[in-house]
Chain A
Amino acid sequence: DGGITQSPKYLFRKEGQNVTLSCEQNLNHDAMYWYRQDPGQGLRLIYYSQIVNDFQKGDIAEGYSVSREKKESFPLTVTSAQKNPTAFYLCASSLSSGSSYEQYFGPGTRLTVT
């Protein structure tokens, strides 16, 4: 079964700790994305990557970091510099960049920082 996996589904951390969210896809997609969703809002782009070893900042990249060492994997680190890290994080991938390619989403990770 092809798809995107994100782990864990729920994550709890203390303030001041870095935390890494996992995202793996076996769809052979070139492009991968990280979005953040807050209650009552749409998704906002954090980072995206079009090819291995390359990534770009999205609209709200401050306090986050990513890596793309393998085509299948695009982990997101939420650093202690992120002021409001509690949110729902969604990873997505698409065959390529381009306006006609839909993005496929993983099940998401709900991060709570106290």
Chain B
Amino acid sequence: AQKITQTQPGMFVQEKEAVTLDCTYDTSDPSYGLFWYKQPSSGEMIFLIYQGSYDQQNATEGRYSLNFQKARKSANLVISASQLGDSAMYFCAMRESLGQKLVFGTGTRLLVSP
């Protein structure tokens, strides 16, 4: 069964610093997709970045990058140059090739301080 683990309940970072949010996953499907979502206090889930299991390069989207280590089954999110608006919950999720659902981790709360 597919599973996502986020071991950091909370993370603190100072403005303009980089931060890494950890995510490990488990699946027996060789084809899968990994996603990161941001959930601000308003509750809406905002898609940040996607990594396919066969992608050769790590995904990047602006200040977000995904450190994909397939052999270790990890897909950590790196946020560079943190901003106060980055304070939110961050969820890692996975979808298998034949699956219809996203499986979510329990999330990491990020607090960015001035």
Q: Which residues of A contact B (CB under 8 A)?
A: 31, 33, 40-45, 48, 50, 56, 58-59, 88, 90, 92, 97-108, 110
Q: Which residue of A lies closest to B105 (CB)?
A: A42
CA distance A40 to B39 in the complex (A): 12
Q: Which residue of B lies closest to A4 (CB)?
A: B44
Q: Which residues of B contact A (CB under 8 A)?
A: 4, 31-33, 35, 37, 42-47, 50, 52-53, 91, 93, 95-97, 99-102, 104-107
Of B45, B50, B104, most buried by chain A (CB within 10 Å of CB) is B45
Q: Do A42 and B52 have beta carbons less than 8 Å apart?
A: no
Count, A-B residue pairs, CB within 8 A: 65
- Chain B residues contacting A110 (CB-CB under 8 Å) are 43
Besides A42-B107, A102-B35, A105-B44, 19 new A-B residue pairs in contact (Cβ under 8 A), listed by A number: A31-B100, A33-B102, A41-B106, A42-B4, A42-B91, A42-B104, A43-B102, A48-B100, A48-B101, A56-B100, A59-B101, A99-B97, A99-B99, A100-B52, A102-B50, A103-B47, A106-B44, A107-B44, A108-B44
Q: Which residue of A lies closest to B52 (CB)?
A: A100
CA distance A6 to B33 in the complex (A): 26
- Chain B residues contacting A43 (CB-CB under 8 Å) are 45, 91, 93, 102, 104
- Chain B residues contacting A58 (CB-CB under 8 Å) are 101
Given contacts A99-B31, A107-B42, contact A42 B47 (CB under 8 A): no
CA distance A101 to B32 in the complex (A): 11
